[in-house]
Structures are given as structure tokens and as C-alpha cells.
Amino acid sequence: MDHHFALHSRLEADTAFIADWALSRVLLMNDARYPWVILVPRRAGLSELHDLSHAERLVLTEEIARASGKLKALTGCAKINVGALGNMVPQLHVHVIARNPGDAAWPGPVWGNGTAEPYAPQSLTNACETFRVSL
Amino acid sequence: MDHHFALHSRLEADTAFIADWALSRVLLMNDARYPWVILVPRRAGLSELHDLSHAERLVLTEEIARASGKLKALTGCAKINVGALGNMVPQLHVHVIARNPGDAAWPGPVWGNGTAEPYAPQSLTNACETFRVSL
């Protein structure tokens, strides 16, 4: 535990809580256009993957692989996109997104493409529960 | 060694060879707009990060961290972007890109933004040599 960890306000505003794994807070992006999960290592002051300790990076890697494999199994998507960008939100966070031909941004990246379509409140709750059980 | 590994034709066309690391072929994207490296695990038939074995994924993670940290030190960039998308090229490959405010796509992602600006031949050779030594 890192008691100095606090989720960036932009991530707080744009996502809903799914679960805390060993290292990462697992969030659902509130954008119904794509099944879209974000992993945020619960350590203060991280910006780049190379800022993590070796041991923590190995944990994060397995958490990314878990989210990736489970999201693919859950959605039957054509491709998983994984990205750690941070050009706008400097706190280290990793996107894991289910992509399909014909989705709103295919075959381009989802970031910066169009406008998020928030879930209806009950749908957001349901989606978080589905992801909590399935990932 | 995986004797069935062959670089995807699109990656072959768009990049230049920097080095072979323990797992990954390290390539320079032939786009002078950004210092842009691509890691391709030399294993046939991989598409997703979760397709790698646990052991190979740990190696890839350290190779990503190495490329990320060295590229940041070499370029002094503001942010590293790391991405494994594969919507157009299914062969597993990981982008590691040096980003700065004011670059051609900032703060958006580089993928699908504008048109690549190839290096002049001698500049490409020089850049590959610099990256070979520095990464």
C-alpha cells in the first residue's frame, strides 16, 4: 500500500471503479462505445513504465495480460489494444480496450477520436459488476 | 530462436533494423516526426500480449522498459507513449515513442495522424546507429 496514492481527478471523473488488484486499481472507462478498462498502479508519483520498480513492473505486466485475456474472452473482440500514453493525464495508467472492425474508431486508435458516450447509470453499474466478476 | 518468425511485410516496409535483443527485434519507424521505436518479439503466430508465455512476457516487459527509459534519456522528451494495437498489422509489436508538446500529433496519439515523413537515407542510417548505441 502507498498511502500517498490518489487517483488523478481526470481519471476519477471519466471512469468507474471495478476492483483493486495486487498492484493496480482497475477502472471502467465511462464510454459505452468500447469495452475499455484502465489499470492504475496504486503508487504515487509514477508517470512512465520505467518509473516502476522491476518487481512492480512484473506484477503490472501480469495484470495487463490478465485484463487483456479476460476482456478478449468476455467480449469475443477481434483485437485488444493496450496503451500507456499519458500525454494529458500524467499519472501512469494503462488502457486495455476491446476493438472490433466497425467500431467508432476502427482501425485507428480510440484516443482523441470523437466524444465519449457515457453509460446510463444502471448500465454502468451492471458493466462494472460484469467486469468485476469476469476479469 | 523461432525459425518460423518472419517480420510482417508492413513492418518490413515502414521500419529500419536497429538490433536484435534477447526476445525482440528492435526497429526504427521511418518517420522523422518522432523518435519512434518498435519492438517485435521474434516468435511466430503472436498477436496479443497474452499470447506470450509468462516467461517471455517478463522479458518483453523489461525490453519495453529499457527502450522507454533509454529513449527518454536520449531525447529528453516530455513523455513516452507505449502501445500495442495491431488493428492493421496483426503481428504482435509494441510501439515506444518519444513525445513532446508541439509535435505533429500532440497531445493525441501518433497512430493514424497525418502522413509519415521518411528520413533521408543517410539520416536513417545515422539514426539507427545512434539508437543501436544508446538503447
- A124 pLDDT above the threshold of 90: yes
Q: Is A72 part of any domain? A: yes
Q: Which one is predicted more confidently, B97 or A3?
A: B97
Q: A50, B87: Cβ pair inside 8 Å?
A: no
Q: Give B23 to chain A, closest Cα distance, Å.
A: 16
Cα(B100)–Cα(B45) distance, integer angstroms? 34
Helix or strand or coil: residue B120? Answer: coil
Q: Is B75 part of any domain? A: yes
Q: What is the mean pLDDT of residues A14-32?
A: 98
Count of the separate structural domains present in chain B: 1
**Three cell numbers at B123?**
539520416
pLDDT digits (tens, 9 = 90+) for B75-98: 999 999 999 999 999 999 999 999
Domain that residue B118 falls in:
9-134
- A37 pLDDT above the threshold of 70: yes
Computed on alpha carbons and rounded to an integer, the radius of gyration of chain A in Å comes to 14
B111, A109 Cβ separation under 8 angstroms: yes
Q: A72, B86: Cβ pair inside 8 Å?
A: no
Q: Is A65 part of any domain? A: yes
Q: Is A3 part of any domain? A: no
The pLDDT, as a whole number, for residue A2 is 83
Q: Give B96 to chain A, closest Cα distance, Å.
A: 10
Q: Is B1 part of any domain? A: no
Chain B residues within an 8 Å CB radius of A65: 49-50, 52, 57
Q: What is the mean pLDDT of residues A60-73?
A: 98
**Three cell numbers at B128?**
539507427
pLDDT category at A132 given cuts 50, 70, 90 is: very high
pLDDT digits (tens, 9 = 90+) for A44-62: 999 999 999 999 999 999 9
A124, A116 Cβ separation under 8 angstroms: no
Q: Is A127 part of any domain? A: yes
- B2 pLDDT above the threshold of 90: no
Q: What is the mean pLDDT of residues A1-22?
A: 95
pLDDT digits (tens, 9 = 90+) for B49-77: 999 999 999 999 999 999 999 999 999 99
B39, B64 Cβ separation under 8 angstroms: yes
As a whole number, the mean pLDDT across chain B is 97
The pLDDT, as a whole number, for residue A3 is 85
Helix or strand or coil: residue B84? Answer: strand
**Three cell numbers at A111?**
484516443
The pLDDT, as a whole number, for residue B3 is 85
- A120 pLDDT above the threshold of 80: yes
Q: Is A19 part of any domain? A: yes
Q: Is B3 part of any domain? A: no
As a whole number, the mean pLDDT across chain A is 97
pLDDT category at B1 given cuts 50, 70, 90 is: low
Q: What is the mean pLDDT of residues A80-106?
A: 98
Choose among B46, B40, B52, B31: nearest CA to B90. B46
- A36 pLDDT above the threshold of 90: yes
pLDDT category at A1 given cuts 50, 70, 90 is: low
Q: Give B122 to chain A, closest Cα distance, Å.
A: 30
The domain that holds B34 is classified in CATH as: 3.30.428.10
Q: What is the mean pLDDT of residues A25-36?
A: 98
